Amino acid sequence: MKKFNLVLLLILVVGKLFAQTEATLELPSKSSDLVISRHIYGQFSEHLGRSIYGGFVVGDDVNVPKQNRIRLDVVDALKKIKIPNLRWPGGCFADEYHWRDAIGPLKDRLKMINTNWGNVTEDNSFGTHEFLDLCSMLNCEPYIAGNVGSGTVQEMSNWIEYLNLDGESSMTEMRKQNGRDKPWNVTFWGVGNESWGCGGDMTAQFYSDQYKRYAVYARDYPGAKLKKIATGPTDDDYNWTQTLMKNVGTKMWGLSLHHYSLPKGSWGDKGSATNFDEKLYFNTLKSGLFMDELITKHSAIMDKYDPKRNVALVVDEWGVWTNVEPGTNPGFLYQQNSMRDALLAASTLNIFNNHCERVKMANLAQTVNVLQALVLTDKEKMLLTPTYYVFDLYKVHQDAQYLPLKLTSPDYVFGTAKLPAINASASKDKNGVTHISLVNIDPLKKIIAKIDMGNANLKFQNGQILTSEKFTDINTFEKPYKIKNVVFKNVKISGTQLAVALPPLSVVMIELK
């Protein structure tokens, strides 16, 4: 009897390991009117650690090609993935930043202490003009976060006038004296940041009243109709969304949402960026996939007050947040970037794509040398992280027609918990090319994704894959190309069905026409 029970147990275990190793997807029979906004693929750079200084901006002692101190290898890398917008100057830093301190001759700029991030001295050598020059070099739109926490209505109003007025005023005269004749016409404008916390510790009711006051004096000028973005909730603070939608409604272009994936679920010991086991891997992906529920529930509240969906949900801070790398300044938030982080990024972007009816903008935190960065630098050295390569794969979705997939996925099981092993999104670009992005988060199983193309009469053109043997694998300055996109051809076609073999820990993009 014991021998029989042991055999039965082995059969059950083996059956569990190999059961449901297929996912099914179905392309829609009719086209969608929805478009995946390119601004979902936005980035975020705060005056924090080595994001600006040592990241984008370097001195003469760093021997790399540069233009006005901005390193061109970083610019070229970001241009390749077509970043659509860049959020600045924060973050928490935005609500202690006074823009007039950082314009004019460098020798005359006022220094300050960056109290949020390490109590280092901010010399304000990178200010409004330098940021907008950077955006011009990147061919992206600026997204400026205004100071509500420690600033004034007049300060914000003057900044917008300085940026956008093509006329005669003291602000435009100051702008011209500082070397800029024509306005920049900046449209994306954040009215504060995290006003429930580092941006002023406000209640939702108090902030909603403050937003309306600031928004009145955030003027539209010819050629620059503002897209005002209100501070939204953190995570599952649904009361904040309810209050803002009730009191502000469509007087804002967008409502922000912040959600970070913490491997240990704690703001204390968050866990290592490189030394973690499957439990922390699973927890991180679970926290990342929670984004779908957050967007669904916040959107439902927004739908109640805005059924025509005029107000965008702007997820302008998201990503993995771990402990800093050992030996680095804890206030600089410098962390490595693993295959796990790439899988989370790809899964999150699939979620945003699948909620493109409400999510119109998002910003990964952050672009260079901070948190889940796309780029890491060390003096002359530069590397592209696994997360960078996800954005390179997914750039094909920008401003493409959304295709809603019907997906059935097997489970990725860890202990008594489980997650969908496969997530995906799809779009059709202006040339009629269909792209399907597929993610397999299971660290052990290869999964066959069977895609029913219906009557679309599509043929496989090519594919790319991002994968690695272990979820802790990283790119280093010594081995910068360990994880990168390579050609993918493991696709079989039978009639109107496509079978895509997804290795464990993989992100795959296939192209059909």
Q: Residue 414: which residues within 8 A CB-CB, separation 6 or more?
A: 278, 279, 282
Instruction: Kindly state the tokens that stand for 187.
Output: 């449209």
- Does the annotation count 194 as an active-site position? yes
Angle between helices 339-354 and 278-305 (to 10 degrees): 20
CA pair distance 342, 231, nearest whole angstrom: 27
Please tell me the distance from the alpha carbon of residue 398 to that of residue 356, in angstroms, as a whole number. Answer: 11
Is position 96 annotated as part of the catalytic site?
Answer: no
Q: Is 274 exposed, middle or buried (0-12, 13-18, 19+ CB in 10 A)?
A: middle
Q: Which residues contact 326 (CB under 8 A, 6 or more apart)?
A: none
Report the relative pairing of strands 112-114 and 506-512 from DSSP bridges.
unpaired
The Cα 176–Cα 171 span in angstroms is: 9
- For residues 366 and 387, give the distance between their C-alpha atoms in angstroms, rounded to a whole number: 11
Q: How far apart are the first and last CA of the chain?
A: 58
Q: Considering the candidates 317, 380, 469, 478, report the single residue annotated as catalytic.
A: 317
Integer Cα distance of 412 and 346 in angstroms = 17
Backbone angle region of 90, left / alpha / beta, with phi > 0 → left and psi within -120 to 50 → alpha: beta
The one catalytic residue in 96, 122, 130, 194 is: 194
- Which residues are catalytic, by number? 194, 317
